[in-house]
Structure 1
Amino acid sequence: MKPVIAIGRRKASLAKVKITPGKGRVIVNNRALDAFEPELARLKILEPLQLVPELVKGVDITVEVKGGGFMGQAEAARTAIARGLFEWSKDPKVREIFRHYDWTLIKSDVRFKETKKPGGPGARAKFQKSYR
């Protein structure tokens, strides 16, 4: 069967997933998923795999993720994995399982941090005055 390639995004992170027939191996940035740190990010990546375990047993998943922080990378990877598994199975039930669990498994969360503007320490806050 032909490999499936899917993409997931979150903030500044971009994840590309390649799904091929195999034995259920998951590799993230040339490391096994079991060795991926921190644990919270690993658990986030595991979510779509735990929702459809019978589908994951017959495929190898290779994830390449770049940009952003570790949590943004984890969320981009989980979106890409879920999209790839749905495309691999071509089963609408798989999409419904993901959609009912968390819609961001199918659709990327497009929100970014608002940029800082001049006149204050952050995006909206302004420097306080000490007179008046």
Structure 2
Amino acid sequence: MKIIQTSGKRKRAIARATVKPGTGVIRINGVPVPKLTPQLAKMKIEELLIIVHDEKLKTVNIDVKVSGGGSLGQIDAARIALSRAITQFLKKKTVVKNIKAYDRSMLSGDSRQVERKKWGGRKARARFQKSYR
């Protein structure tokens, strides 16, 4: 079996997923999915596995390494990388259809970016206060 590598991005977080032959363990930054904290992070990853639900996934190990961004941004990036890795491994159109029907952002991500800061203020839209007296 060939090793599959995919990536996913969300805000400033970047995740890389690697699929290798193994025993069906999925790890995110070295932590198995059942032991992930917070609970919301665990649920976001498990919902993808519930949608896919294929016996072939028990023959591979998937390691996801995430860096940058906040905790939920990292989980979303890991979920995107994981879903892309699973679809490449299974090579079934029905899996892609199921994932897209449930939540399109699992495969494509979010294209929005932070608006750049402009002169005359502290942030993109905020302006410095003006004094008349």
TM bucket (normalised to shorter chain) is: 0.7 to 0.9
Alpha-carbon distance in 2 for matches of 1:85, 1:13: 20
Letter in 1 for 2:32: A
**How far apart, CA to CA, are the structure 2 residues paired with 1:35 and 1:115?**
38
Amino acid at match of 1:59: V
Is 1:11 the equivalent of 2:11? yes
- Structure 1, residues 64-100: CA drift from partner, whole Å, max 9, x if none? 1111111111111000111111000110111101111
Which residue in the other structure is 2:54 paired with? 54
Query: 3-state SS of the aligned residue for 1:46?
Result: helix
**Change in CA separation of 1:24 and 1:93 when aligned onto 2, cut-off 3 Å:** same
State how many pairs are aligned: 132
Is the partner of 1:57 in helix, strand or coil? helix
Deviations 1:91-112 (A, max 9, x none): 0111101111111111122322
**Does residue 125 of structure 2 align to residue 101 of structure 1?**
no
CA RMSD in angstroms, aligned pairs only: 1.9
**Structure 2: runs of 5 or more not aligned:** none
Q: Percent of counterpart pairs with the same letter? A: 40
Aligned to 1:20: 20
Q: Quote the residue 2:71 is aligned against.
A: 70
Deviates more, 1:113-122 or 1:5-14: 113-122
Unaligned stretches of 5+ in structure 1?
none
TM-score, normalising length: structure 2: 0.87
**Structure 1 range deviating more: 1-10 or 49-58:** 49-58
Structure 1 runs of 4+ aligned residues shifted over 6 Å read none
